[in-house]
Amino acid sequence: MEKNQNFFTYTLPQGLRIVCASGQTDVVYMGIAVDAGTRHELPSESGMAHLTEHMSFKGTGRRSARQVISCLEGVGGELNAFTGKEETVYYCTALRQHLARAIDLLLDITLSSTYPQEELNREVEVVIDEIESYRDQPSELIYDEFESLMFPGHPLGRNILGDVDTLRTFRSEDIRQFTQRLYHPDRMVLYVLGDVKPERVVRLAEQTLARYNLSTTAGKLQYSHGGTGVFPREYCHITRERGTHQAHVIVGAQAFGGGDPRHLHMFLLSNMLGGPAMSSRLNLALRERNGLVYTVESSCVAYTDCGLWSVYYGCDAQDRARCRRLVAHELERLTDHAMPQRTLDAARRQLKGQIGISYDNFENVALGMAKRFLHYGTTLSREEFFARLDALTPEDLLSTAQTVFAPDRLLTLEYV
């Protein structure tokens, strides 16, 4: 067992990786992160990763669907899951005296789910209802279309929920083939944050895994990212007639993967532009000074080998051109010359405070730890993150801004 500051890591003989972090709380935040997301689907499997997540709650070789649901709820705990482009995460919270129960349940639903056809037929319709609900939310739908334009013809551009017609063709055997390919212990991370001994976590995981007849391990899959991120001028601005009361606009570009040092540059730049603070540059420019928008936000998403940066806002249709000019002006401020050191110091101080406060949310801290260890095999403490942030220079941010915010990389999508 290895210890790195507050983290303990261990790999079982079956390949299951374990990462633990201490937390002064009687509640344990834990789960299993699986290296199986939308980008791992075959072309004929659109929506399979997300549907598998749903179906993993519908019964195992040892538990009925009702028993899966009540196993932790019966002692006051919670069980949930989500699917991303690169992973599926099954997570739970429970009092620490129920640690053994939680580990047993998590490994059961990820390694022994049965995916009954009758349940599958019902769950497909549930997912289709979820898809339809997003079509009524243009502020959500625009992000999905934007990703599909950024990564055309690539799984990263595929909607996580899948395609209605394809979903209705799936059978139990299709899900079993998907999980046989991807749901192996060596593609999983068991993560635990709480006031528990890591040695006990390892022992419980060993005992639970011994119950399963595990097939040959799968190993890491190889894949390429979605493209260059450079668009022809005639393709860089797209307007869709949606008949919405408000215009919805998103502008952005491909960026950097989580393992690229420049992702940290983009993270800070994005926070300066449109982070949660009311003092963010775009909030001041579009809302506070001009009253053009209610919401404007900048986000930066990192996959393992590439990333995506975007700015979203909603405005009156007649204000679109003015908003675009204001956004362009703020981008130019970051690309024309290096920011003063005092500006960087203030932005860095603000981000450190936001990150520090976020550490009070144990569940999000645990999820971040799990995803990092799953994809990069490393952990990153708050102190290590702050040290990397302290090392940034104005020239670093200028170079990254000039790369990502270059006009031939920007794509604008509007719903009107």
Given a cut of 90, is residue 215 above it in pLDDT? no
pLDDT digits (tens, 9 = 90+) for 366-389: 999 999 999 999 999 999 999 999
Q: How many residues does the chain have?
A: 416
Please provide the DSSP assignment of 185-202 as one string. Answer: GGGEEEEEEESS-HHHHH
Q: Would you identify the CATH topology of the domain 2-209?
A: Cytochrome Bc1 Complex; Chain A, domain 1 (3.30.830)
Q: pTM of the predicted model, to two decimals?
A: 0.93
Residue ranges per structural domain of the chain: 2-209, 233-415
- Check: CB of residue 320 under 8 Å from CB of residue 256: no
Assign 320 a pLDDT band (cuts: 50, 70, 90). very high
Q: Which has more pLDDT, 93 or 134? A: 93
pLDDT digits (tens, 9 = 90+) for 167-184: 999 999 999 999 999 999
pLDDT digits (tens, 9 = 90+) for 80-98: 999 999 999 999 999 999 9
Assign 225 a pLDDT band (cuts: 50, 70, 90). low
The CATH class given to the 233-415 domain equals alpha beta
- Check: CB of residue 192 under 8 Å from CB of residue 30: yes
Q: Which residue is associated with the tokens 């920007």?
A: 410
The contacts of residue 132 (CB under 8 Å, 6+ apart) are: none
Residue 247: its H or E element: strand 247-255
Integer Cα distance of 411 and 288 in angstroms: 26
Section 218-234 average pLDDT: 53
- Report the candidate in 46, 333, 346 with the shortest Cα–Cα distance to residue 174: 46
Assign 6 a pLDDT band (cuts: 50, 70, 90). confident
Q: Which has more pLDDT, 127 or 221? A: 127
Same fold flag, 2-209 and 233-415: yes
pLDDT digits (tens, 9 = 90+) for 250-262: 999 999 999 999 9
Given a cut of 80, is residue 218 above it in pLDDT? no
pLDDT digits (tens, 9 = 90+) for 327-342: 999 999 999 999 999 9
- The confidence score (pLDDT) of residue 233 equals 47
- Report the candidate in 33, 379, 8, 382 with the shortest Cα–Cα distance to residue 194: 8
Edge-to-edge, what's the strand order for the sheet holding 2-4?
A: 2-4, 7-11, 17-22, 188-194, 27-34, 88-95, 78-83
